[in-house]
Amino acid sequence: MKSTVLEGKGLCKTFANGQVATNVIRNLDVEIYNGDFTVIMGTSGAGKSTLLYMLSGIDTITAGEINLMDSRIDKLKEKKMAKIRRNDIGFVFQEANLLEDFTVFENIAMPGYLVSKNRKEVNDRTDILLEEVNMLDHKNKYPSQLSGGQKQRVAIIRSLINKPNVLFADEPTGALNATQSKAVLDLLTGVHEKGQSILMVTHDIAAASRANRLLYIKDGKIDGILEFDQFEVEDIKDREKQVFDFIMKRGW
């Protein structure tokens, strides 16, 4: 049986705009399992990013409870939360957000130095991660010298430097062309196959088909769940059709 790595109970999020309050997430329960590649889908404005930011501790919750590896994280003071963000979670956004004044190598290693005193270990791991994405030759380049897809692969391995319990990704292929997207998805699939838990928001059916579990968000709640076996390249067309049918049925 799978263990739970992340859990949200009775989650609510309300945004107040002057006199108007919008309930974006409404009493939502969710469990994310260890080693799963979980995807969140839903129409634009459904609250996918909001949910991802709540579960990762980037944003506060209005009500409910969040447990990461059996520790409650939603009531922590900022300093403790910052430590969890640094040590236990990885986050990747649509834009790579690399530091332009630092090399590829430095961008990846720096969050590692913040957590580990063993610089050599961090440096070695940085090289290993770069090697895994065939980018060791680019280690001394600056972000401006990379393509969009290369930048995003660097952002992903940077988020893995401290071996996070969960890798969160909000539309990581949203700004990429088809070829670049495929390289990023192949990287995420490879990372998942090594046991990394991933929670990713996407609009893209090809991206969603890499997951083994899909959650559809509607009206602030989970409206449906679709589950797959381990990803096999030859099954991709069939999976994409199943994802398409799944989201169409829910008003995509």
Ligand X SMILES: Nc1ncnc2c1ncn2[C@@H]1O[C@H](COP(=O)(O)OP(=O)(O)OP(=O)(O)O)[C@@H](O)[C@H]1O
Give buried/exposed letters for 46-72 (b at 16+ CB in 10 A, else e).
Answer: bbbbbbbbbbbbeeebbebebbbeeee
Q: Which of 42, 90, 111, 149 binds ligand X (CB under 6 A)?
A: 42
Quick one: tokens of 216? 């559809």
Beta-sheet pairing, 4-17 with 166-170: unpaired
Quick one: tokens of 244? 């398409």
Does residue 57 bind ligand X (CB under 6 A)? no
Does residue 45 bind ligand X (CB under 6 A)? yes
User: Which CB atom, from 38 or from 49, has the smaller least distance to Mg ion?
Assistant: 49
Out of ligand X, Mg ion, none, which partner does residue 24 contact, by CB within 5 to 8 A per kind? Answer: ligand X
Residues 83-102, interacting with ligand X (CB under 6 A): none
User: Which CB atom, from 10 or from 45, has the smaller least distance to ligand X?
Assistant: 45
Q: Which of 7, 28, 49, 188 binds ligand X (CB under 6 A)?
A: 49
Q: Give the number of other Cβ atoms within 10 Å of residue 166's Cβ.
A: 22
Beta-sheet pairing, 20-33 with 71-72: unpaired
User: Which CB atom, from 28 or from 146, has the smaller least distance to ligand X?
Assistant: 28
Contact between residue 213 and residue 33 where contact means Cβ atoms under 8 Å apart = yes
CB 48 to Mg ion: min, Å: 5
Contact footprint for ligand X (CB under 6 A): 15, 17, 24, 42, 44-50
